[in-house]
Structure 1
Amino acid sequence: MTVETWFLILLFLTVVVITFAVLELSAVRRKSKLLNKRLAELHTEEVKSRKNMYLRWAGRFNRSDYGKDWEQKLAGADLSITGFNYVLMQCVLLFVITYLLNALLGMRFPMDMIVAYFVVTIGSSQWLKSRRRKFAAQIDRQLPEVCRMLGSSIRAGMSIQQAIGMVAEELKAPAGPLFQSMARELKLGNTIDTVLSDMTDTFSSRDIRLLTQTITIQRQAGGNLAKAMDQLARTLEERERMNKELNNQTAESRYIALTLALMPVFLVVAFNIVFKGFITPLFTVPGFILLVVVVILMLIGFMAIRKVTNIKA
């Protein structure tokens, strides 16, 4: 081969290497720009969170044990807000009700704030419990299907962890996202007992507790978990049918109890709007004692009626 031939070969190889180097450099620069952009966004959010007092306080509150307790309660009530925001809403509602009591009923400080505090605290607690019961009831209606899917998956040779993952993929909301969260916890390395215990603590439902206890006992005793799931599915369906019949039979009594409890409140507000100063005697010492006695008797009557009509299978 002549010198000219070797020169052309070297020139060709040089051009190829330079071309690949340029392409690789371009790809690296694109990846570097994308990475810097993401890092800038994260850095910006970090700086904002440090400078923003609201985000700083919210972060500290949500990371505390008290905030985590609120997070668990709100998750059980199917509320997507943080514990800090919920407590902040309670504070705003406290001042609003204090103003309304002062403007409509003529209450003075600190009586108006004390009454508003009890109204917000008790009302918020009862509303949150009602939300938790309703959300748990929605999940309870899907539990027979959950039990059958778990039983079928285990009968097919899957482990309980794999069966939970199958339920998470196939089931619709609201139980679907719950089992998706359980599947993620299992993938992160948590034990099945810990995941089941967390689910029991989050939801105030006897059916969910029965499901978790059945799985735990059958795993520890080495029993036939698939057969137990099928039997539990039939039991839950029968209980759901009986509870619907009982609710239909006691619906009238529950509405009467609620009406009797709210009627005096509306009457007092209406009379005070028409006749200014109608409830002023209640703010004296004898009036306050009488008011406390009346409220206690009304609560006892309301709770007694609810206790009699709240029949569950």
Structure 2
Amino acid sequence: MSALLIAGAAACAIWALHYYLLLSNERKKAHDKLNDWMYKGLEKSSWSDSLADRVDGTEWAKKMRVKLDQASLDLKPSDYGSFLAMGLIGMIFIMNMMVGIESILVCVLISIVTVPVGSTAFLRSRQHIYAQRLDNQLSEACRLLSSAARAGLSIPQGLQLVVQEMPSPIKVELGRVVREIELGKDLEESVRDLQQRVNTNDIQVFANALIIQRRAGGDLARVMSEMASTMEERKIIHQTIRAVTAQARTSAYALPAISILIALMLSKMIDGFWELMSSLPGMIILGVFGLLQVLGVVLVKKFSQIRV
């Protein structure tokens, strides 16, 4: 009798274990289907995405993000860093294979110096061009704000009118100010952020005029109209100065290019030229050469810059 009871208990235990495993399997399938439905279309992050997220969280990325915004480049710091890395590798390859510099050390040193300097020059050029385009549109924006003030519109409504009527880049910058105001940010804080993004004299005057009008009131239409006339006169003066100093600015870029071309010609004419440059005296000569070239460019640009 006891043997029958033990056999029955064992059979029930096996039966219960079978149904438990079956139920667990069904629950796992249902859980997998739910996860597939919830995360449908989302890809798992790869090692490159994780590396990019880590790079974007560094202090270098925070500083670079500001520079990229000022240069109006829609890139993450990690993406821009990858371009710099590819540029560094490409520069080493060009120096070694095409130019004929056999010393890898010299190639690496030249690339390490050239790529950051080129990156800085590129970002500053982008910032300058972007700011110049914005300044050229600012007088027309002031006239629209003046017309909006005469029609009885407030400053945010006038900025919205400028965003609707004018093209980029002022549409993008003032559109960002308008969106921040609509989300509850104070007008003064939004305009201050605009000053930090685009730090030019005309933007500073424009932003300060809006802040003063918001704080103290006054005839906004008259202020914007006079500011537009002043900016247009300054634009004419700037164009005249650029035409007069065009030769000096061209010389600032032509002299280093001619010097580098002469150095490449000497490397083809003199055997062992780059071996000499890879030695300690040669590196000193290269350092002095680069320093004098940078100094010459800076001095020529300083002499050709006339502030108005």
**TM-score normalised per structure 2:** 0.81
For 2:58 and 2:179, locate their aligned partners in 1 and report how far apart those are by CA, in whole Å: 23
Q: In the TM superposition, what is the alpha-carbon distance from 1:303 to its structure 2 partner? A: 1.1
Distance 1:276-1:197 versus aligned 2 partners, 3 A rule: farther
**Aligned-residue offset at 1:115:** 2.1
Amino acid at match of 2:194: M
Residue identity matched to 1:204: N
Q: Give the Cα–Cα distance (whole angstroms) in 2 for the partners of residues 40 and 158 of structure 1.
A: 52
Q: How does 1:211-250 map to 2 (within 5 A)?
A: 211-250=206-245
Q: What does residue range 154-233 of structure 1 map to in structure 2 within 5 Å?
A: 154-233=149-228
Match of 2:304 among 301, 306, 309: 309
Question: How far apart, CA to CA, are the structure 2 residues paired with 1:106 and 1:54?
Answer: 33
Percentage of matched positions with identical amino acids: 26
In structure 1, the residue matched to 2:288 is: 293
Q: 1:274 to 1:40 in 2, by over 3 A?
A: farther
Once the two structures are superposed, what CA deviation does each residue of 1:56-115 show, in whole Å capped at 9, x if it has no partner?
333454466643443332232222222221111001101111222233242534442232
Report the CA distance between 1:190 and its aligned residue: 1.5
In 2 relative to 1, CA 40–184 (structure 1 residues): closer, same or farther, beyond 3 Å?
Answer: farther
Q: Give the partner amino acid of 1:80.
A: D
CA 1:144–1:82 in 2, change beyond 3 Å: closer, same or farther?
Answer: same
1:130 aligns with 2:125: yes
Counterpart-to-counterpart distance in 2, 1:310 and 1:44: 58
Moved more, 106-115 or 288-297: 106-115
Q: Would the aligned equivalents of 1:268 and 1:279 in 2 still touch at CA under 8 Å?
A: no
CA distance in 2, matches of 1:274, 1:157: 75
Shift of 1:174: 2.0
Q: Which runs of 5+ in 1 are unaligned?
A: 1-38
1:81 corresponds to 2:61:
no
Superposition deviation, residue 168 in structure 1: 0.9
Identify which of 119, 126, 129 aligns with 2:114.
119
Secondary structure in 2 aligned to 1:51? coil
One-letter code aligned to 1:98: I
Q: Which runs of 5+ in 2 are unaligned?
A: 1-34
1:302, CA displacement in angstroms? Answer: 1.8
| 2:15 equivalent in structure 1 | none
Q: Is the 8 A contact 2:92 2:107 kept in 1?
A: yes
The CA distance in 1 between the partners of 2:58 and 2:283, in whole Å, is: 39
Q: 1:185 to 1:64 in 2, by over 3 A?
A: farther
Structure 1's 77 and 99: CA in aligned 2 closer, same or farther, altered over 3 A? same
Q: Identify the residue that residue 94 of structure 2 maps to in structure 1.
A: 100
Distance, in Å, in 2 between the alignment partners of 1:197 and 1:56 is 34
1:43 aligns with 2:39: yes
- Matches of 1:106 and 1:81, distance apart in 2: 33
- Could you say if the C-alpha distance between residues 171 and 94 of structure 1 is closer, same or farther in structure 2, counting changes exceeding 3 Å? same
Say whether 1:55 aligns with 2:49.
Answer: yes
Contact 1:148 1:233 in 2 (8 A): yes
The CA deviation at 1:180 is 1.7
**Range with greater deviation from structure 2 (126-135 or 251-260):** 251-260
C-alpha contact 2:105 2:278 (8 A) present in aligned 1: no
What does residue 276 of structure 2 align with? 281
Distance, in Å, in 1 between the alignment partners of 2:229 and 2:214 is 20
* Aligned residue identity for 1:156: A
The TM-score with structure 1 as length reference comes to 0.79
Tell me: CA distance 1:64–1:198, structure 2 relative to 1, closer, same or farther (3 Å): farther
Count the aligned residue pairs.
273
1:77/1:131 contact within 8 Å kept: yes
Deviation at 1:126, TM superposition (A): 0.8
CA distance in 2, matches of 1:95, 1:155: 59
